Structure 1
């Protein structure tokens, strides 16, 4: 079965469909990871996006029951150069195509993903339509141009919990503001014996403080950070009330709550090999990323924060730290393991802050 990806600028890529069939649309982005496709497909931060993998062979180790980052997939489509339908790994429970079919995600293989990635790098991410039912390229381009932009979509409610729930532990109580939290964030807190209370993105500051937390973690999530104004207001009211740690979208929401601004990047950071420097120690970490927006560094001037981490590829802000309060955040994903695992030290710093400022 043939599938076609049409971009809003008129560029079209045709190939073979695998996984589900039908029609889908979203922002077309690329990820440079060589592995980790299961985590990518189940990362809620990809909600609203068609993901292109730059590594040429995807699916060779299958899909297993342990490496999910959410209970289901939120991606709008998945594009690869070649999909492997005969995986070889003792942990695999089913193939990539089986997974996509079950999750109703359209897969497209047999396209020149190198050319597609270079196109997105030069032109920027853009809207696209992925179809197995329509071969009329002009019609698909028209559809792509009529799709909503990523900004303005209410994606966070689609991926976040609707009701609060608690995971018991014998350590400090951490309230996790869920805007699309990856399960590995919760795993890291549980490994440190935290009692984790997960609350929806619309939770108020009063509701969170009523839970008597020792710390507050602002989770990752999809879309433009300005599209979660309720969370920004809540965080603004909570700053200084408890130790606070933000990750990815949580970093952007914290920055906006402090008075900074954000902007949409040309093609974003999505991959598992981004070098980030911790400016306090001088140590460089190889980190996992998934974001299309960034904090504008010039907007931090005059605010009571310092830039704590910097991306060594393009110099963008990768973390901030409050100069007076136990509040910090990073743009990348310290809970992910792109190979090295030492970025988990940030969870230990969060634990130290909760002990230091314990009530």
Structure 2
């Protein structure tokens, strides 16, 4: 009886929770979407490009996944305004460009790297015990990187906390100290990233109940 009640509760929660993937015109968005589906969280997921959905329309979603993309956050449609408007009330996870957009939204700045980092896996070191997506993982792991910009440590906002860095001290992950908002500079959806699926599953588990848990 208790199992049936739990399944019913999970089903009701699943029906209510909606996930928005904001596509920043990047091919890696497809990989993120496929990973979400693989992990069993795709039934209530919608994908919109960053200039094909209004800020008001975002209101109906509970959780938001900000995709990688070209350029800088200011060129990514509604993304900067979305973060500023919905950070206090929605669960947000930014990947690569999405991560950079979170930093900028709270007053951070970006630095254009002298040499872009594209298609390589480098060591990432967890620097905080406060980030759930890293719990249970090794203190250091390799992750795939495809970026030309990084968040500047010297101008890092007090509202945010650095949760992972690379060997040079560049910021590879962050979280908001009060809101349920976080970002990673690397690509968890890439096969080059160790424990990437685990990180995504941890974030999704805190967002919506997977379909496979109640069927």
Q: Same fold (TM over 0.5)?
A: yes
1:226-283 deviations in whole A, cap 9, x for unaligned? 3236321122111122111000001111111122111211112213321111223561
Matches within 5 A, 1:288-303: 288-301=144-157, 303=158
Asked whether the equivalents of residues 164 and 172 of structure 2 are also in contact (C-alpha less than 8 Å), the reply is yes
Of the candidates 90, 95, 104, which is equivalent to residue 247 of structure 1? 95
1:349 Cα offset (Å): 2.6
Change in 2 beyond 3 A, CA 1:264/1:306: same
1:61-106 deviations in whole A, cap 9, x for unaligned? xxxxxxxxxxxxxxxxxxxxxxxxxxxxxxxxxxxxxxxxxxxxxx
Matches within 5 A, 1:300-311: 300-301=156-157, 303-311=158-166
CA RMSD of aligned residues (A): 2.2
Could you say which residue in structure 1 is the equivalent of 2:106?
Answer: 258
Change in 2 beyond 3 A, CA 1:316/1:283: same
Matched, 1:201 2:84: no
Larger Rg: 1
1:170 Cα offset (Å): 7.1
Measure the CA separation in 1 of the matches of 2:37 and 2:194. 17
Matches within 5 A, 1:38-57: none
SS in 2 for 1:329: strand
1:189 Cα offset (Å): 0.9
TM-score by length of 2: 0.77
Measure the CA separation in 2 of the matches of 1:355 and 1:176. 14
Asked whether the equivalents of residues 25 and 49 of structure 2 are also in contact (C-alpha less than 8 Å), the reply is no
Matched, 1:326 2:180: yes
Could you say which residue in structure 1 is the equivalent of 2:200?
Answer: 347
Could you say which residue in structure 1 is the equivalent of 2:8?
Answer: none
The runs of 5 or more residues in structure 2 that have no matched partner are 1-13, 130-137, 210-215
Change in 2 beyond 3 A, CA 1:171/1:331: farther
Could you say which residue in structure 2 is the equivalent of 1:17?
Answer: none
The runs of 5 or more residues in structure 1 that have no matched partner are 1-168
Could you say which residue in structure 1 is the equivalent of 2:36?
Answer: 189
SS in 1 for 2:50: coil
Of the candidates 99, 102, 127, which is equivalent to residue 279 of structure 1? 127
Which stretches of structure 1, 4 residues or more, deviate above 4 A after TM superposition? 169-172
SS in 2 for 1:251: helix
SS in 2 for 1:351: helix
1:306 Cα offset (Å): 0.5
1:346 Cα offset (Å): 2.1
Measure the CA separation in 1 of the matches of 2:122 and 2:145. 7
1:277-323 deviations in whole A, cap 9, x for unaligned? 1223561111111000111112214x3110011011x2100010111
Asked whether the equivalents of residues 243 and 353 of structure 1 are also in contact (C-alpha less than 8 Å), the reply is no
Number of aligned residue pairs? 183
Could you say which residue in structure 2 is the equivalent of 1:173?
Answer: 18
Change in 2 beyond 3 A, CA 1:267/1:224: same
1:7-40 deviations in whole A, cap 9, x for unaligned? xxxxxxxxxxxxxxxxxxxxxxxxxxxxxxxxxx
Q: Which has the higher contact order (CA 8 A, sep 6+)?
A: 2
Asked whether the equivalents of residues 205 and 235 of structure 1 are also in contact (C-alpha less than 8 Å), the reply is no
SS in 2 for 1:233: helix
